[in-house]
Amino acid sequence: MTTAEGNLAVAELAFVRWTSIAPRPPPAAMAGALGWLRENLLSTPFNIVLTVIIVLLLAWAIPELVKFLLIDAVWSGTDRDACLEFVQHREIGACWPFVWERLPYFIYGSYPIPDRWRVDVFFAMLAVGIVWLLWLNAPRRDLGAIYFFVILPIASFILLTGWAAIGLRPVDTVLWGGVLVTIVVASVGIVVSLPLGILLALGRRSRMPAVRLLSVIFIEFVRGVPLVTVLFMAGVMLPLFVPEQLSPDKLVRALVGIAIFASAYMAEVVRAGLQAIPKGQHEGAMAVGLRYWQMMRLVILPQALKVTIPNIVNTYIGLFKDTTLVFIVGIFDLLRTIEVARIDPKWATPVTSTTGYAVAAIFYLIFCYGMSRYARAMETRLAKSDRR
Amino acid sequence: MNVAGNHGSLLKPANLNTAVAVELVDVNKWYGDFHVLRDINLKVMGGERIVICGPSGSGKSTMIRCINRLEEHQSGHIFIDGVELTADLRKIDEVRREVGMVFQHFNLFPHLTVMDNCTLALIWVRKMPKKQAEEVALHYLERVKIPEQASKYPGQLSGGQQQRVAIARALCMNPKIMLFDEPTSALDPEMVKEVLDTMVELAHDGMTMLVVTHEMGFARQVASRIVFMDEGQIVEANVPEEFFAHPQHERTKLFLSQILR
Amino acid sequence: MSSELSARARPAQVVFYNDPKFRSIAYQLVLCAVVAFLVYGAASNAIENLARSHIASGFGFWKETAGFDISQTLIQYSPRASTYGRAFWVGLLNTLLVAGLGIIFATILGFGVGISRLSRNWLLAKVAGGYVETIRNLPLLLQLLFWYNAVLKALPDIRESIVIPGGAFLNNRGFFLPLPVSKSGFGAVEIALLAGILGAVAFYVWARKRQERTGQQAPVLWVALALVFGLPLVVFALAGFPLGFEFPQAGRFNITGGIEVLPEFLALLFGLSIYTAAFIAEVVRAGILAVSRGQSEAAYSLGLRPGPTLRLVVIPQAMRVIIPPLTSQYLNLTKNSSLAVAIGYPDLVQVFTGTVLNQTGQAVEVVAITMLVYLVISLVTSLLMNIYNSRMALAER
């Protein structure tokens, strides 16, 4: 061994560990709840200050919320006196009797009471359709698609608008309101926007210049303007463009507006999915002899749609929230029924408005958050299935 | 048998100084409850080339990442050139200036040219004037044999070229110790040689190197010692000739049988 | 032999209706014919219907007197003298005002929340996450109505206004602020501000050049702040504080003087900012996550500290990923400002597609003009975004 080795003796060069070291638990300061606290909340002075501020904030906000919704809330009563402070001599939170009494109005609008069973049947059929399509292990989901996109719309239309011939009394759409209208508008938007969006996306990628130009103009135009203006356009211009006899009723106009708007956004989502499919898929399909529509239906679209399901669901969430805008063209969706109800003098208290908005918030949170959880679950599932 | 004097037949043990470059004493690290480094003891002299090998998950990358504080050790001591590595930010800065690192996935800054990648730290950490920094950078780019790529962006280079730029970038800071974390694992086979050749030249010039790699040919050629790790512990260490010819531990034998064909 | 080959060499005759080129042209002709037919049908129906209702056509209404009042006007407007055209501009300016301020607030809040979601502090990350999840799942209209009806309209009325120290009042008719009135000598402060800005820029350029030459760094940020804020303040003090305020005076039924900020404006601003900030937070988070950890690890191992690492390595890369969807959110905010019509804020849609359309009945022209305005804003922004994207694309092989 030369001195150039420094202080490393021959013996130190070779080393063998004959007894293995068993794993030990981490030191106490690091482990468990205390360690986690130190790591995540108290690691630097700045962090400590931040944690303290947030804890104080939450300590004020959460009890206030719970107080309003539950503890100080009024649970029964017949009119505004039940929810007025100077009558009840205590602090008042949410005025739930207001909600109980108006709940049918929030759900059905002014739909005639003896016919409300038809709305219930519609809700049930819709629920069946949704579960059938979304539950990945459901049997015969292709039948489910036909049910959802063909049978359900026709049946619902007959059920809700009525058909004298089979004993269903016609109900004018003016009477529809509340959750019924919200669900109808959202469903129509969802059902129409996907096929139309697919057509537009294919049109935009088409090699025929006229088709591509028309698709691009339509998509960019609709995406460039606010939904409010599209609804106004449908609301005031549609009656002008059709001959007098066919003048569509207000709900139909709003539905047309929503459908057009949603289709343009869906078109872009589908187009992104189509772009993600490698050209080899097109080539493979054509090599086997499939024609354009067969190729699309059997090979390309199934893959494209599967890839963009999370984005499609996100678009649906946006659509669901956008249904509130029919409020502005005079349609009585859930928000508008709440707006009408909260200014009722019978229930005029300082807390009525907030209670009404709380109901709307709960409704939308459940649906939108539910949809976003589904989207996220689908995302992880897709990621897993792509891993080898 | 000339165990100590012949660290690789092609290399003179040049510039081996008597200073201890890196020393790990009873280093332990946990990820949550998982004991990832167990009682690591390692002494690296100046000028030594240590090759660290082992199955994946054995903690090799974690160990060298502790040396420049990309990971924190929970117990034990790490000394770099005599300076102990603790939570003290100034010590960490000092250590990082003396230790350079080359990553498996290059980690070049894609929005900067090759030249800017190399001069970034010189300008902002060593506060060098731009002209001088560019001269230094060009010098090291020539050493890794790609001075003509200086105005290109990383995305325009091949994998092998990118990794050589990464080596040049680390060298620009004139480190005393170079860490390599699987530098050729992400490269296409035809580009592995150019990077290994660069690393061999670096070893020629007497750089202290700790290299995590599976390239046993490189280890045979250049390493002064090979360290085998498994399950967070150093299982066996020896000079290359002994390590490959007479592995002592069962696990070492198993590992060698799997990677040597 | 050769005749057989040459016979086979001639291309087979295709029946014309199987020729893809013919089909393509045929489809396109049919499509154009259908579209043309629909357009013609719609147009002729429209003309007929309009004529029957005695509604005028054309853009003559632009010069007619408006005859209605607008509650917030940034330019001169009077119900008796101003035209519908003028009302259009008032509405458009109101839209741009609320959209511009909304974009500023939403960006600040959104970046803050987005970065907080990535914080090591678990509480902060979870609270920020909760904010984003809740706001994104509630319709904007609901949030606007909440702010307007449940918060701003629930404020006390004029006589019991909340008094804010400094001379401002908050009540259900709005937010009344003192109006700054510049006195003589204020011009010097304005010049000082301009000088401060120019000075900061000049200092930055000088510091950069010096760093290139000698490697020394200068505290550019502090000096710039001192120049831009400090210099005008010093001049302001030296000139004897040449700024007066017209304070709102609380009368018995009214507050006169000062600046009046409408509750409609405040509700729209809050609602839009808070809603869009939640989406911006997600964009920012995605952008920062898109920069791989290896980038900051490489920077640290070169000896760069976290501050310069963020500035020189992480943020430039993150911004490339952030800016396209960020502008998309800005566009969304601008389009969403049209919800003003639900709470009565006089933006373009409310004034023009609301009142003007009602009074003139000329639905087609009014809606078309409104849509054109938004379309122009969207297309110009998209164009600028495309230019930005192509310039910033990372050079690849």
Does A34 lie at the interface with B, CB-CB under 8 angstroms? no
Neighbours of C165 (CB within 10 A): 5
Cβ-count burial A275-311 (b if 16+ within 10 Å, e if not): eebeeeebeebeeeebeeeebbeebbbeebbebbbbb
- C contacts of B69 (beta carbons < 8 Å): 300
Q: Is the pLDDT of residue B8 over 60?
A: no
Does C294 lie at the interface with B, CB-CB under 8 angstroms? yes
Nearest to C71 by CA among C250, C268, C251: C268
Neighbours of B221 (CB within 10 A): 18
Q: Is the pLDDT of residue A314 over 60?
A: yes
Q: How confident is the model at residue A2 (pLDDT cuts 50, 70, 90)?
A: very low
Contact C68, C80 (CB under 8 A): no
Q: Is the pLDDT of residue A123 over 70?
A: yes
Does C134 lie at the interface with A, CB-CB under 8 angstroms? yes
Q: Which of C213, C304, C394 is closest, CB to CB, to B110?
A: C394
pLDDT digits (tens, 9 = 90+) for B22-77: 999 999 999 888 899 999 999 999 889 999 999 988 999 999 999 999 999 999 99
Contact B130, C216 (CB under 8 A): no
As a whole-number percent, the residues of chain B with pLDDT over 90 amount to: 76
pLDDT digits (tens, 9 = 90+) for A170-183: 888 888 999 999 99
Helices A96-108 and A116-134, axial angle in degrees (round to 10)? 80
- C93: its two tokens: 């300016």
Does B35 lie at the interface with C, CB-CB under 8 angstroms? no
Cα A268–Cα C339–Cα C351 angle in degrees, nearest 5? 120
Contact A250, A329 (CB under 8 A): yes
As a whole-number percent, the residues of chain B with pLDDT over 70 amount to: 93
Chains touching B, CB cut-off 8 Å, 3+ pairs: A, C
- Per DSSP bridges, beta strands B208-212 and B177-181 are parallel
Does C27 lie at the interface with A, CB-CB under 8 angstroms? yes
Residue B158's φ and ψ, nearest 5 degrees, are -75, 170
A280/A262 Cα distance (integer angstroms) = 30
Distance from CA of A295 to the nearest CA of B (A): 36
Does B162 lie at the interface with C, CB-CB under 8 angstroms? no
- Per DSSP bridges, beta strands B233-238 and B225-230 are antiparallel
A30–B5 CB contact, under 8 Å: no
Instruction: For the sheet with C162-164, list strands across it.
Output: C162-164, C168-171, C174-177, C259-261
B233–A20 CB contact, under 8 Å: yes
pLDDT digits (tens, 9 = 90+) for A353-378: 899 999 999 999 999 999 888 888 88
- C334: its two tokens: 């601008």
- Per DSSP bridges, beta strands B208-212 and B49-53 are parallel
Does C364 lie at the interface with A, CB-CB under 8 angstroms? yes
- C contacts of A321 (beta carbons < 8 Å): 137-140
Nearest to B241 by CA among B80, B9, B47: B9
Chains touching C, CB cut-off 8 Å, 3+ pairs: A, B
B231/C59 Cα distance (integer angstroms) = 82
Q: Is the pLDDT of residue B11 over 80?
A: no
- C contacts of A57 (beta carbons < 8 Å): 127
Does A12 lie at the interface with B, CB-CB under 8 angstroms? yes
Distance from CA of B37 to the nearest CA of A (A): 9
Q: Which of B4, B30, B248 is closest, CB to CB, to A1?
A: B4
Q: Say what the alpha-carbon torsion angle A70, A74, A80, A86 is, to the nearest 10 degrees.
A: -100
Contact C183, C243 (CB under 8 A): yes
Q: How confident is the model at residue A4 (pLDDT cuts 50, 70, 90)?
A: very low
| pLDDT, position A299 | 86
Q: How confident is the model at residue B17 (pLDDT cuts 50, 70, 90)?
A: low
pLDDT digits (tens, 9 = 90+) for C336-346: 999 999 999 99
B60/B226 Cα distance (integer angstroms) = 12
Q: Is the pLDDT of residue B14 over 50?
A: no
Contact A96, A355 (CB under 8 A): yes
CB pairs under 8 A between B and C: 97
Q: Is the pLDDT of residue B12 over 60?
A: no
Neighbours of A243 (CB within 10 A): 11
| pLDDT, position B2 | 34
Distance from CA of A29 to the nearest CA of B (A): 10
Does C219 lie at the interface with B, CB-CB under 8 angstroms? no
Contact B130, B111 (CB under 8 A): no
Contact C386, A241 (CB under 8 A): no
pLDDT digits (tens, 9 = 90+) for C144-155: 999 999 888 888
B124–C308 CB contact, under 8 Å: yes
Weakly modelled stretches of chain C, pLDDT under 50? 1
Does C15 lie at the interface with B, CB-CB under 8 angstroms? no
Contact A258, A232 (CB under 8 A): no
Q: Which H or E run contains C295?
A: helix C293-301
C80/B204 Cα distance (integer angstroms) = 92
- A contacts of C50 (beta carbons < 8 Å): 240
CB pairs under 8 A between A and B: 79
Which of C211, C214, C293, C301 to probe by mutation at the B interface, max B CB count within 10 Å? Answer: C301
Residue C378's φ and ψ, nearest 5 degrees, are -65, -50
A328/A234 Cα distance (integer angstroms) = 12
Nearest to C131 by CA among C146, C119, C116, C153: C116
Give CA C191 to chain center in angstroms.
30
Contact C335, A226 (CB under 8 A): yes
ipTM > 0.95? no
Which distant-in-sequence residues (6+ apart) come within 8 Å of B215 by Cβ? B184, B192, B196
Q: Is the pLDDT of residue B7 over 80?
A: no
Does A14 lie at the interface with B, CB-CB under 8 angstroms? yes
Nearest to B245 by CA among A12, A17, A14, A1: A14
Which of B22, B89, B236 to probe by mutation at the A interface, max A CB count within 10 Å? Answer: B236
Contact C339, A228 (CB under 8 A): yes
- C contacts of A240 (beta carbons < 8 Å): 45-46, 49-50, 363-364
pLDDT digits (tens, 9 = 90+) for A235-281: 888 888 877 777 788 898 999 999 999 999 999 999 988 888 888 88
pLDDT digits (tens, 9 = 90+) for B80-94: 988 899 888 888 999
B113/B125 Cα distance (integer angstroms) = 18
Contact A266, A315 (CB under 8 A): yes
Which distant-in-sequence residues (6+ apart) come within 8 Å of A94 by Cβ? A68, A69, A72, A73, A74, A351, A354, A355, A358
Which phi-psi region, left, alpha or beta, contains residue A335 (left: φ > 0; alpha: ψ -120 to 50)?
A: alpha
- B194: its two tokens: 């150019």
Which distant-in-sequence residues (6+ apart) come within 8 Å of B241 by Cβ? B1, B3, B6
C302–B68 CB contact, under 8 Å: no
Query: Quick one: how many helices (H) and strands (E) in chain B?
Result: 9, 10
In C, minimum Cα distance to A339 occurs at C145
Q: Which of B132, B173, B179 is closest, CB to CB, to C303?
A: B173
A12–B234 CB contact, under 8 Å: no
Distance from CA of B5 to the nearest CA of A (A): 6
Nearest to C273 by CA among C122, C153, C98: C98
Distance from CA of B238 to the nearest CA of A (A): 4
- C contacts of A247 (beta carbons < 8 Å): none
| pLDDT, position A347 | 87
In C, minimum Cα distance to B166 occurs at C298
Does A27 lie at the interface with B, CB-CB under 8 angstroms? yes
Q: Say what the alpha-carbon torsion angle A344, A346, A350, A355 is, to the nearest 10 degrees.
A: -70
Q: Is the pLDDT of residue A5 over 70?
A: no
Q: Is the pLDDT of residue B258 over 50?
A: yes
B169–C395 CB contact, under 8 Å: no
| pLDDT, position A230 | 94
Does B1 lie at the interface with A, CB-CB under 8 angstroms? no
User: Which tops the pLDDT comparison, B51 or A38?
Assistant: B51
Distance from CA of A18 to the nearest CA of C (A): 35
Chains touching A, CB cut-off 8 Å, 3+ pairs: B, C
Residue with the two structure tokens 């609380």: C250
Q: Which of A7, A13, A21 is closest, CB to CB, to B18?
A: A7
| pLDDT, position A357 | 93
- A contacts of C371 (beta carbons < 8 Å): 221, 225, 229, 233
- A contacts of B4 (beta carbons < 8 Å): 1-2, 5, 10, 13
A321/A340 Cα distance (integer angstroms) = 19
pLDDT digits (tens, 9 = 90+) for C89-118: 999 999 999 999 999 999 999 999 999 998
